[in-house]
Amino acid sequence: VSGGGRDGLVKLWSWQYDLFPVDDGENNIINIGAGIRCIACVRTDDGFSLSQFLVGTLENSVCFADAESGVVDTIIQGHYGPVAAVAAHPLDNGTIFTAGHDGWVCAWLDDGSLQWKTRMKVEEDGVPNAVDVRCDAQEIAVGTQAGVILFLDSAGAQVRRVHESQSDITVMKYSPDRRLLAAGMENSMIDVYSLQGTYQLVARCMGHAGMIKELDWSIDSRHIRTTCTKVMVCFWTAASGYPADMEDIKNLEWATQSCSMGWEVQGVWNCIADGASDVEAVSRAHAGDLLAAGDDFGRLHLYRHPPCTGDATSRRYTGHSQSVVAACFSANDTDVYTSGGRDMALIRWEVREADGRTRAKVQEEAAAERARAQMEEAARRLQQVRDAQEGHHDAVDALTVEWSAKGKIASSKLQHEVRPDQLGEQSSAAP
């Protein structure tokens, strides 16, 4: 068995005194459809199969090939360039979106299968470098290294293109009210776009000294928080692009926690003492109780939020061979997704409690407990209504008995007071 490299063909040969193509009813040439990097025979109970193979491709996928039927099935798919950005579906807990330098924007399911993928026009629009999903999941924004923002629908089809900057877009975020989009760029500026009508640029924030690295919106969609590679944290008024008044942001609540610098996350920098030199990605759980942080050693750290002290401790996990460049929690906080950038890997981490239960199991148990409590409360209220109705019936019965007794007494008095001859006289007097 041989693979020809970029031609994507697997060929079967017979060995006697020379090599010649197999001609015994099998497909001696199998087209994998992508460049071939390695081949392995499938192991069976009788040894290694001579007609079934696993093929690794240059496009970072693993295919199963059957020489007898000629069928080729893709078992594992992936990006074949650095995975630059990751964003979780805001409503569907099992869907994740990625943007890679291979030019593909992909939607993945929690079992690792591909829901859809869209190829960007790299020559015209540039390489995808940032991605975010609107909170209603009806629109996906993709930023490129050419300064282009492409808007896709929920099925991955392009619906709009905006090009207002020539600088690389490094990070993007929709505002919570769905009316604005902020895009941080390599030239240290942040552009704010209105998503009403024609999607126009409405403000530009200038003041950072380095490439924009991270970005957060306030819950009221009026302010933006950003960090840059020169270790600066800045706060902006979204409508004008001017620096925000410190009195306005002093007690402000933020919709996300993606910025790795600030009072709430100062404890994540403890990883420096363990050999790392930088915190590459930070993400807060939607419930606000956990914080995930990735460092440039390829490690994922999980903290109780907020890790606001210098001695904050974390659970540490390894899996990537390169820096963790992006991290995010799933919609229900049951999983954490991380991207290793140049290792081209997207890893799904399952969140577990200290007793080993998954967060999904804990949520199911909590939901069952809430349902049980609601049923008990409903039964209690129903019993109160029944008791009230029974009390009402008892009161009506007592009132009926009382009136019945009064009626009998009145009837008895009438019989004693009116004589029969008077009744006869009254009857005869009637016309």
- What are the pLDDT digits (tens) for 357-410? 888 888 888 888 888 889 988 888 888 888 887 776 666 566 666 656 555 555
Query: Which residues lie across from 216 on neighbouring strands?
Result: 225
Q: Are 261 and 308 in contact (CB under 8 A)?
A: no
pLDDT reported for residue 95: 93
Residue 431: the pLDDT is 37
Judge if pTM exceeds 0.85: no
Residue 161's nearest CA partner among 191, 210, 196, 198 is: 198
What is the torsional sign of CA 253, 256, 262, 268? Answer: positive
Nearest to 234 by CA among 214, 251, 253: 214
Tens-place pLDDT, residues 189-229 = 999 999 988 899 999 999 999 999 999 999 999 999 999 99
Distance CA 265, CA 216 (A): 14
